[in-house]
Chain A
């Protein structure tokens, strides 16, 4: 995939269209949307506005739910999670920027269930990349990218939003 294929606006438009289609298919109207800090929250803020959801946007910081916490310790930039709606019985759209190992989504699902039992959750991600470590997949995606082992793709922003591919590091 070239840098041109990583145009955030194009990927966002595809993700938006895919979400509209999926929500119609599932007959879900006015779901509650949650963005995962930090990149997922940026994406969710844009989609929340474009899709015209009436429920205020929720935010999750999954730092307290990470399964590598005993190894990596406390994230110094942890933010408070805020879900300004009841989760019980709700249809939820969960948004993250990059789906990679699947561990962030797993942590997000664990955290959501600590707030209540949703009716269903639709997972939307801007980029789906290879390297899954646990069996989690997105329902809606903006685009797919194949990266070499050790390569990382990162959303920087929020103004402007830009996807960059880096070798190694976190």
Chain B
């Protein structure tokens, strides 16, 4: 799907967010607005009552065709902190496993008067497909589709970078690992380039880089120490063992020897560089435990920030449709 087509379906006639399917095609201004709104939501955790009434009476459906405890939990918590009711549909035991089509499942949930679908699916484009077919009052958020996009993960990552570094201009960011299978990397590259970082590097063996990766606006490296030189942010990706056969890397041990993040290799980065990881971590395969648990790691703040970012996207998307705009 082209950037223009993706933006067309995501934005309403006034250019405001209606669905959140991909970072691709969205403006810098909108990405900044998502982060600014998330910053406000981050303060909600300071309250005794860790909820705001924005989505009271709304029903959010977590439609997960692929397992992900962490992402589903943070979407659920985000919706609940906005006072929405949440349905978690376990697809493994749902009617789709009895032969019902995806659209029939969506139609039945629509008939139950739900207001938002949070969709995770192993097929690229699944969230777009649902967004094109839902009723006008329903918003669709992509919680990860195939190898295509994971936009809220990208937004929580750039939000975390902004909280640690302030500005994006002047930053060098290295994304290390399985770029080929990573929807997170794809979304992060779009977000970082839109926000104007100096340089996005991708560091991986050739077998884990897409062909013509430079076209995404990144500089490829095949040597970790070189790729980390003078960077401000290191984003380690999970080696998606379930998505690859044995052909991509010789062994996990050898992968760690060449591309695992260790204290020694991290010395190449700037002294104040931060280390990120979308989780779950394969300790000792892509990152040394000493780094993952060390002072430069912001892996747990990423999880916390994920709730605020998802609250921001949910609240912005839920009320942006032109059919819902009424003069105050």
Contacts and interface: CB of A to CB of B under 8 A. Distances in A.
B162 interface: no
A83 B43 CA distance: 10
Interface stretch (B64-72, B264-272, B316-324): B316-324
A162 B272 CA distance: 45
A113 B315 CA distance: 22
Given A65-B53, A71-B328, A74-B315, A82 B43 contact: yes
A82 B45 CA distance: 11
B40 A116 contact: no
Contact of A64 (B40, B320, B327): B40
Interface residues of A, number: 26
B319 A65 contact: no
B47 A73 contact: no
B288 interface: no
A78 B319 contact: no
B53 A72 contact: no
A81 interface: yes
Interface string B302-328: 000000000000011001100011111
Contact of B54 (A69, A116, A170): A69
Contacts of B46: 83, 115
B37 interface: yes
A64 B52 contact: yes
B28 interface: no
A118 to B, nearest CB: 12
B36 A68 contact: no
Nearest to B36: A78
Contact of A68 (B16, B49, B316, B328): B328
Contacts of B52: 64-65, 114
Given A65-B52, A114-B48, A115-B47, A70 B328 contact: no
Contacts of A68: 328
Interface size class of B (residues with CB under 8 A): 20 to 34
B9 interface: no
Nearest to B316: A74
Nearest to A86: B48
Interface string A34-73: 0000000000000000000000000001011100111111
A116 B326 contact: no
A110 interface: yes
Interface of A: 61, 63-65, 68-74, 76, 78-83, 87-88, 110, 113-116, 170
Contacts of B325: 71, 73
Contacts of B49: 113-115
Interface in B12-60: 16, 33, 36-37, 39-44, 46-49, 51-54
B319 A116 contact: no
Contacts of A170: 328
Contacts of B51: 114
A110 to B, nearest CB: 7
Contacts of A110: 53
Contacts of B37: 74, 78
17 contacts: A61-B40, A64-B41, A68-B328, A71-B324, A71-B326, A72-B319, A72-B326, A73-B325, A74-B320, A79-B40, A80-B39, A80-B40, A113-B49, A114-B51, A114-B52, A115-B47, A170-B328
Contacts of A65: 52-53
Contacts of B39: 80
Most B CB contacts (10 A, CB to CB) among A63, A74, A115, A116 go to A74
Contacts of A78: 36-37, 40
